[in-house]
Structure 1
Amino acid sequence: MTDSTSTTPIRIGVQLQPQHADYSAIRDAVLRAEDLGVDMIFNWDHFYPLYGDPDGKHFECWTMLGAWAEQTERVEIGALVTCGGYRNPDLLADMARTVDHMSGGRLILGIGSGWFAKDYENYGYDFGTAGSRLDLLGEYLPRIRDRFAQLNPAPTREIPVMIGGGGERKTLRYVAEYAHIWHAFGDLETMTHKSAVLDRHCADLGRDTAAIARSTSAPADVTDTAQADALVDLGFSMFTVGVGGPDYDLDALASWVRWRDSRVG
């Protein structure tokens, strides 16, 4: 199990969900979030809203990240998470390297296997099965790593790869082998179990489990700091607040930034 006495700093992120809003509202929310003091700003890699009007306003992930790279100065940026099945992995690595340079080395490459059938079917991608999508992700991860090594100019840093998901046989094995960050979902009991599974995969591969930062959603209830503290004790250091359009209310985000700052020192 991850050492609960770790001094890894707690980091707060926001996922600005690019739905039900004009782009001007998203751009404004990015500025407000950075001004609040967040550490990371994410979007997501879908083509349609995930809740609310299913045919409502929506914008594409990676072109947006290029704009955020120029707009922001300090925060790390990325997708929570990119769908591995949408793009040739060598192209995705090149896109990531480009945004890495545009941002001055602030990109996190979040990636997962994909799950929203509408995205695939309406844009002409093969949805396959959960197993086939995971197998494809397993094929793509080493290609992304190898392409990073071939690009000229090289990335400004070793671009952190964040893998989202908790499948015990495949996903967590990929995390142990390829990821710098694991983004997990579930209650504390689930997280405890999944963390132990990841630790076993790391042991099998001879990798230090402490080299993988652990990330999850901030509790929906901003007063539930006890749950967040318990997750920190479990080894989680990255917490992200999801915020949707059209207004992008950042009050909950501000509360979690204050919680982060209250733990310093």
Structure 2
Amino acid sequence: MTTRPVRIALQLQPQHADYRRIRRTAAEAEDLGVDVLFNWDHFFPLDGDPTGRHFECWTMLAAWAESTSRVQLGPLVSCNSYRNPDLLADMARTVDHISEGRLVLGIGSGWFDRDFAEYGYAFTPDGSRLDDLAAALLRIERRWSLLNPAPTRRIPVLIGGAGERKTLPLVARHADIWHCFGEPDVIARKLRVLGEHCAARGRDLAEIEVSTTVTGGPTAPGEPEDLGRRLRDLGVSLFTVGASGPDYDLAPLRRWLKWRDEENS
């Protein structure tokens, strides 16, 4: 269905590990040939010991921008509620320059109530947070047009989420990449809805790269030859492997990279 080449991302989840281990794993993933290196925007571990080690998203991305040289990088995803949108635009522009044009701005409305509560952010209803995200995306785009120096190029925007009434219209309007979770039949249904929103805006759905998490997330794990092919047939081209500390097992990543190379050959 898709003509885009397969790309493989690693979400290097910054929980339960010291930073030296995280840095070594990022370097190893780049050496293995991963296309995109993601972290996440949380303040506490999402699983395991809730008081375990954890590090902040954007300061880490700036460090990765210096310590890597080829791989794209970004948050999967930055929570809109945690930062003023104009500030976030400036942060993204700065990391874009540090990395010499390798940043992907992943963004969403946030969901982990502990992050909000302990850091003093109002955990408003889902609809309200999505309305805020809609306004923030316009502010981010405007701020990018005003910054000096400007971003190195049009920074790709990844929007995470699959809400049919509010999130997918934002994807149709703003996103270069749409990241979704779920089994293939769920993604197929959401793609149909996204296609309708794109058509209403006069946009070709094929302009949006479709991304999903294949291990370390809500999707049931599967081997690339099966799960990858089913998702590929739907139009997915960016496949994210999740890895959690403290030890970061990259064996699943290696299998998905092998499959990518076979698919793209």
TM over 0.5: yes
Aligned length: 261
- Find the partner of 1:22 among 4, 18, 22: 18
SS of the aligned residue for 1:107 comes to coil
Structure 1: gaps spanning 5 or more residues:
none
8 Å Cα contact 1:222-1:256 kept in structure 2: no
- Scaled by the length of structure 2, what TM-score is found? 0.97
8 Å Cα contact 1:222-1:255 kept in structure 2: no
1:165-176 map, 5 Å = 165-176=161-172
1:218 alignment partner in structure 2: 214
| Alpha-carbon distance in structure 2 between the residues aligned to 1:40 and 1:55 | 28
1:97 alignment partner in structure 2: 93
User: Runs of 4 or more off by more than 6 Å in structure 1?
Assistant: none
1:249 alignment partner in structure 2: 249
| Alpha-carbon distance in structure 2 between the residues aligned to 1:224 and 1:261 | 12
- Percent of counterpart pairs with the same letter? 60
Could you list the per-position Cα deviations for residues 209-238 of structure 1 after superposition, in whole angstroms to 9, with x for gaps in the alignment?
111100001256453522211111111100
2:153 alignment partner in structure 1: 157
1:130 alignment partner in structure 2: 126
Matched, 1:72 2:37: no
2:184 alignment partner in structure 1: 188
RMSD value, Cα = 0.9
| Alpha-carbon distance in structure 1 between the residues aligned to 2:224 and 2:92 | 35
| Alpha-carbon distance in structure 2 between the residues aligned to 1:218 and 1:55 | 27
Q: Which deviates the most, 8-17 or 226-235?
A: 226-235
Matched, 1:112 2:108: yes
SS of the aligned residue for 1:153 comes to coil
Shift of 1:131: 1.2
SS of the aligned residue for 1:85 comes to helix
2:260 alignment partner in structure 1: 260
Matched, 1:201 2:197: yes
8 Å Cα contact 2:75-2:104 kept in structure 1: yes
Shift of 1:34: 0.3
SS of the aligned residue for 1:12 comes to strand
